[in-house]
Amino acid sequence: MDAAVKFTSQSQGRDRIFRAVQYACTLSVYLLRNNSKRKEVVAKLKSLEANMSAGRKLFRLGSTVNSIEAARRTMQLSDLVLCLCLTAANINRALYFICDNVLWARSAGLIRDIDKDRWSLNASRCYLLSLVMNLTRDVYVVSQLMWKRARDEHFRQKRDQHLSESPEVAEVVIPQLDAFLFLLLESLRSHPAVALDTLKNICDLFIPLDRLGIYHSNAGVVGFCGLISSVIGIITLAQPNLRIKP
């Protein structure tokens, strides 16, 4: 109970719970869209989804400063690739929050003379760039883990044993590909924080891609991917040891 109270007392915790509910509503509305007996339920779910989205915008009012501070810290990383990827991701995330704050101010009636669609597109572009840079960091970290693991003598023996015990796989699939996939899965299995962050960023990627029209999916895919990434976000916030560093 204490852990739940501590989690919900954080603005990030409340934002991620709201986000999970929002995308759960999106997915539910898509699944029930053709059910004529559930029109009232669908209307309530749409209203709840809108309320969750508005609530999240309010929670994120101070996130721009946090992202700028995160960019300042990542600029000091000694690893050049991590420094560039994370700094660019945090800067674009800060720009996304600025656009998001402007949209919130417009919806609250504080600002009137702005193009809502233009600001929404700019927010999606910044969000997409932030995700791309985070995914680039994930790929880089995974490649580093695979390289270190491939040099480990104990792992080589384990890999050779796996290949020898699965001759039918080696006959169907290119042996080098099977060895690569085994190395990849073992590296991710031994570093769950990296695996969770990669999965989260891949799921999140569908949201701006759909909004920008780069890759058209549907509300069901967006809702499902958003729900999965939200659940991962809740898990990593509740369990800091599952959060990727830096």
* Model confidence pLDDT, tens digit, residues 85-140: 999 999 999 999 999 999 989 888 888 888 999 999 999 999 999 999 999 999 99
CA distance 197 to 229: 9
| For residues 223-236, average pLDDT | 97
Question: Are the C-beta atoms of 216 and 210 separated by less than 8 Å?
Answer: yes
Contact assessment for residue 111 and residue 105, using Cβ atoms and an 8 Å cutoff: yes
Is 137:82 a contact under the CB 8 Å cutoff?
yes
* Number of domains composing the chain: 1
8-27 pLDDT, tens digit each? 557 788 899 999 999 999 99
Distance in angstroms (rounded) separating the CA atoms of residues 237 and 199: 15
Q: Is residue 179 packed enough to be buried (19+ CB in 10 Å), middle (13-18) or exposed (0-12)?
A: middle
Q: What are the φ/ψ torsions at residue 10 (nearest 5 degrees)?
A: -85, 140
Structure pTM? 0.89
201 pLDDT above the threshold of 60: yes
Q: Using pLDDT thresholds of 50, 70 and 90, give the confidence band for residue 150.
A: confident
Confidence of residue 177 (pLDDT cuts 50, 70, 90): confident
The CB-side HSE value for 25 (13 A sphere, CA atoms) comes to 19
Predicted confidence (pLDDT) at residue 175 exceeds the cutoff of 90: no
Split at pLDDT 50, 70, 90, the class of 170 is very low
> 1 pLDDT exceeds 60?
no
DSSP, residue by residue, 178-208: HHHHHHHHHHHHH-HHHHHHHHHHHHHHHHH
Top pLDDT among 135 and 162 is at 135
d(CA 120, CA 53): 14
Inter-residue contact 99 to 118 (CB < 8 Å): no
The C-alpha atoms of residue 108 and residue 103 are separated, in whole angstroms, by 9
Average pLDDT over residues 152-171: 63
Share of the chain above pLDDT 70, in %: 87
Planar angle of CA 58, 65, 61, nearest 5 degrees? 5
Average pLDDT over residues 145-174: 68
Domain that holds residue 223: 2-242
